Amino acid sequence: MNEELQNQDKENKEEPHEELKPFSTLSPILTAFIALFGVFFLYQIGGAILTIVIFGFNIEKADINAMRLLTTGGQILLMLLPTLIIARLVYHNNTTFMLRVKFPKAKEVGVFVIGLIILTPLLQNILYVQNYILQKLSTSSILVKNLVRLMDELDKLVEKTYGNLLSAHTFFEASFVIFIVAVIPALCEETLFRGLVQKSFERKLKPFWSIFITASFFGFYHFNPYGLVALVILGAYFGYAAYVSDSILVTMILHFLNNLVAVLAYFVLGSDELINTTVSKSDHIAPQLFSLIMLFILFLSYMIFIRTNYDKYVLNNKKEKL
């Protein structure tokens, strides 16, 4: 009898206990780079090949609405869908957490919208001063002059491409343009960058570096030579908003509003005046430089205010400081 009890007790001890499920199946850093380069290849290179297959090399004569549909479908199928698949495969038990799927408070959205309102004219002034410096340097340096010439050609290509997509003659067409230029990019790009990529970096890196690296790739993804610095700064602001709020919906709203203002500016002014990428020929740099300094001080003060008061007035939890 005692022997039977001992055998039963031994069997009970040998029963396997439920193991803790791993957080991810790959290194978070590796996952972030797989997402970045994988989606880049699919969306930029694969999308270009698909465009040529469908419309041929004479893209200028392609039907504009068909191009818009292809742009929308490309972002959903070649950017958003691969991002969701990678997130599901790697973080299959923590997908919503890694994509920051959380409804924010209205105050959280409002706090960062105010920051965006301050940041937008600041970026315009940064671009003006940047382009002024490039224009001055190009007169004394052959290297800079050739660089500016190359940037001008790339800039013209970008403006021509987006100019065709943004042109609208009816209310319905304008609504469709807003959908493909403001809604879809906000959904797809934020899920990739501030969702999967930045959150993956945050698993291993300090918040500052996670935000900065993600913002840098965000800037390069857009192939806008003159707007690179502004895009990196904008991406860093989105990244900070995502980190502090831990909600992808906050940055989606910010991204949507930023693109919406650009589209409306194009409709009203005939060109995208929100971020003017043309190298300035004017010598009147003092007003823009003064404005840049004032806006920078205002924006920096507001960011310090957010950092020191966010938990107190909006949330009740504490987060690691940058």
Res 273: pLDDT: 45
Rounded Cα–Cα distance for residues 272 and 259 (Å): 10
Which CA distances in Å does 251 have to 159, 276, 304? 25, 23, 19
Query: Do 122 and 295 contact (CB within 8 A), yes or no?
Result: yes
pLDDT in the model for residue 25: 86
Give the domain ranges of the chain. Answer: 104-313
CA distance 322 to 319: 9
Mean pLDDT by runs of 10 across the 322 residues of the chain is 48 43 85 95 87 74 81 93 96 93 92 96 92 87 84 74 76 90 96 97 96 96 89 97 96 96 83 46 76 95 91 61 54
The CA dihedral of 48, 52, 57, 63, to the nearest 10 degrees, is -100
Q: Which residue has the tokens 């001890």?
A: 13
Give the pair of three-digit tokens for residue 51: 């465009």
Please provide residue 280's backbone torsions phi and psi, each rounded to the nearest 5 degrees.
-70, 140
Tell me what pLDDT residue 55 has: 74
Distance CA 201, CA 199 (A): 5
Q: What is the DSSP letter of 105?
A: P
Q: Give the C-alpha separation, 243 to 241, whole Å.
A: 5
Within the chain, where are the H helices? 2-14, 28-40, 47-55, 64-75, 81-90, 95-98, 106-138, 142-166, 171-178, 184-190, 198-202, 207-221, 228-245, 248-269, 286-313
Sign, CA torsion 223/227/232/236: negative
